[in-house]
Amino acid sequence: MSRMNHQDTGVTRSQTVDTVIQELEAALGASCVSTDPGELLAASHGTWPVEAKLERLGRLRSQTPRCIASVASATEVGAVLGIAARHQVPVLPLGGASGIVGAFRTAPGAISLNLRGLKRFDLDPVSMTAWVGAGVTVQQFEDSVQEQGFTSGHYPQSMRLATIGGMVATNGAGTFSTKYGRMRDMVQGLEVVLADGRCITTHLGPDASTGPDLNHLFIGAEGTLGVIVAARLQVWPAPACRLMTAYAIPSPERGLEALRQIVVQGLRPALVRLYDEAEAEGLWRAVDAPPGAGLLIIGQDGRADVTELEMRICREILKGMGVEHAGDAVANHWFAHRFDWVRIPEWNDRAGGIADAIEVSAPWSRLPAVWNATREAIAPLCARVESHVSHIYHVGGS
């Protein structure tokens, strides 16, 4: 048996690699524990642009997990966490690896806990909720509920890769978050395995004055407080109508004030995307419109009569602010191409490539100043800075 350098691996107690792996193989079956170098390398990073560059430089090879344990049930998750706790080995829950904050680089030598085999799906059409396994991708979930006349309302741009467990663990927000909410709003219950291997189910009533809501301990905690094995999510009747339109925006300040006015008037368009001039450029060019202005895309869905009325009121608000309507073509183009990531690997293949993508949020009173200050802070570091607001709330946006 080979002894590893514990300082290098992050392992805190004297032990051998083989003991941990042997126990995992006994619990899960040898075929569910991988030490294949290529698979370990793939499990050592997400989709953060910085990781793409480090991988090209060969600098992720020394930071791989010790093994990947693939599980298909809460009991198996409990078994892995029990072994890890006994040997004091870190565990990194692995969903679709679409995360963009470098979460998998923190504990080389850890057990990578592959949750993609957790595939439960169980819809309650009367209560409009569904139990979904952590390993179901967001796209698979949407396809499953659509087959039964519903929508999840959750359409992040990474939906073909990201899993439900990953989305809950990062408090993810989809592109239609203004109407449907983010994960924090959608979760109606969780099944979670704690570090000691116990499986708990949080309160499942619609809502009640029964003390702190335990769901909020785990939503956004990135697996630090427990491994999510399934989530009970609310679903919505599939919308009968979906409308998209666009406005040319003279300045970010005017665009942000327009969004604030929409919220003040009590409207919640499902989709809101306010692009600065730089990020709007490619979208304008794609529909043969001259670049040079910012772009606001607004989308709404639901009953046709309500949707049309809300879109009309938004248009009146924007007209009252002197904002020019730019037709539907550019909005429909964005919608049709919203899952194209073509530019990202392309840009990362060039010197420099994409430096990073960061989310910044601020209350309405500070949002224009924060938008400008963020751009100014980044400008000396990058050849090009693109910014947009894509989630708005009662009190501000991000």
Question: What are the backbone dihedrals phi and psi of residue 15, each rounded to the nearest 5 degrees, phi first?
Answer: -170, 175
Residue where the block lists tokens 């992040």: 156
Nearest distance from residue 174's CB to ligand FAD, in Å?
Answer: 6
Would you say 17 or 77 has its CB closer to ligand FAD? 77
Nearest distance from residue 131's CB to ligand FAD, in Å?
Answer: 14
Would you say 238 or 357 has its CB closer to ligand FAD? 357
Nearest distance from residue 47's CB to ligand FAD, in Å?
Answer: 4
All residues at 6 or more sequence positions from 9 whose CB lies less than 8 Å from its CB, including other chains: 66, 108, 109
What's the Cα-to-Cα distance from 216 to each of 135, 188, 348, 352, rounded to whole Å? 20, 11, 36, 38
* Closest C-alpha among 192, 96, 193, 100 to residue 136: 96
Nearest distance from residue 172's CB to ligand FAD, in Å?
Answer: 3
Q: Which chain residues interact with ligand FAD by CB under 6 A?
A: 46-47, 92-100, 103, 115, 134, 156-158, 161-163, 165-167, 169-170, 172-175, 222-223, 227-228, 341
Would you say 134 or 311 has its CB closer to ligand FAD? 134
d(C-alpha 116, C-alpha 172), whole Å: 18
d(C-alpha 385, C-alpha 152), whole Å: 32
d(C-alpha 97, C-alpha 90), whole Å: 18
Number of C-beta neighbours around residue 277 at 10 A: 18
Would you say 172 or 255 has its CB closer to ligand FAD? 172
Nearest distance from residue 118's CB to ligand FAD, in Å?
Answer: 7
Nearest distance from residue 91's CB to ligand FAD, in Å?
Answer: 9
**Do 240 and 304 contact (CB within 8 A), yes or no?**
yes
Q: Is 209 left (phi over 0), alpha (psi -120 to 50) or beta?
A: beta
Nearest distance from residue 309's CB to ligand FAD, in Å?
Answer: 28
* Closest C-alpha among 2, 6, 11 to residue 89: 11
Q: How far apart are the first and last CA of the chain?
A: 51
Residue 164: exposure state from Cβ atoms within 10 A (0-12, 13-18, ≥19):
buried
Would you say 189 or 250 has its CB closer to ligand FAD? 189
* Closest C-alpha among 247, 189, 197 to residue 218: 189
Nearest distance from residue 121's CB to ligand FAD, in Å?
Answer: 15
Would you say 173 or 293 has its CB closer to ligand FAD? 173
Would you say 90 or 368 has its CB closer to ligand FAD? 90
Would you say 23 or 191 has its CB closer to ligand FAD? 191
Nearest distance from residue 391's CB to ligand FAD, in Å?
Answer: 9
Residue where the block lists tokens 């191409």: 337
What is the DSSP code string of 64-90?
--SEEEE--SHHHHHHHHHHHHHHT--
Would you say 97 or 326 has its CB closer to ligand FAD? 97
